[in-house]
Amino acid sequence: MPAPLPIETQTAVVTGAARGVGAAIARALHASGYRVILADIDEKACDALAEELDLASETALTAKLDIARPEDFEHVLEKCVARWGSVEVLVNNAAVTRAEPVLDIDTETFNAIMAVNAGGTFTGCKIFGRHFKERGYGRIVNMASLAGQNGGTATGAHYAASKGAILTLTKVFARDLAPFGVTVNAISPGPMDTPMVRDIVPEAAFAGFLKNIPVGKLGDAEFIGEMAAFLASPKAFFVNGACWDVNGGLYVR
């Protein structure tokens, strides 16, 4: 197996990089020395972040990505290879949700959320996993969720089910790709201080919401970024198929 390239010559793709946790991960990877592709359905928001990271566009580029479209993943990979020769890191972060009671979720909506979240992660792991396998090196980091571990429905039962599926996919791909120098891990955040959480929790209920978290506050997206950067690094070669819990003590195992 070839030795990993120096980080400054490695390329990382982050899906859902336009805002929130995805943007924090992209910032952390870029700060660690990686060249980054900011992939999102909202390409304009990614353009602003790319300019923030590197105005010269030498180490930060954007790409339009709808994770429900496998051809979009192929196009992102082709763009990376055309510009920098290869990709070494994929962070599957993009996801959607719609907070609604489980008995109100229709089958079409359930299937759509599963197809985007779990299906998108599966497609990313498969397409980039093949590239990593051929090269003999790679890192995949999948963003799961506390909801996928404890069955929480605040973000919707369809979202929770999709994140549980991502945890299982992480284990499957981790076992399959490990002999080829590729590791696959997951990060499972609890409530983070992001726009999505602020939108879901009513202002009047926010104080009570925080009291239910043992550490008494929301998580920090920047810390998730630092954790992703570690799992993406050559140092994390012996971490594979793992789920890293970041939930303030809401779920202890």
Residue 148 has which token pair?
Answer: 């996928």
CA–CA gap between residue 40 and residue 55 (Å, rounded):
19
DSSP 219: B
Element (H, E) at 202: none
The catalytic position among 34, 137, 159, 251 is 159
- Residue 243 region, left (φ>0) first, then alpha (ψ -120 to 50), else beta? beta
Q: Is 159 a catalytic residue?
A: yes
Do strands 89-92 and 60-64 pair parallel, antiparallel, or not at all (unpaired)? unpaired
The amino acid occupying position 16 is G
CA–CA gap between residue 207 and residue 191 (Å, rounded):
14
> Which are the catalytic amino acids?
159
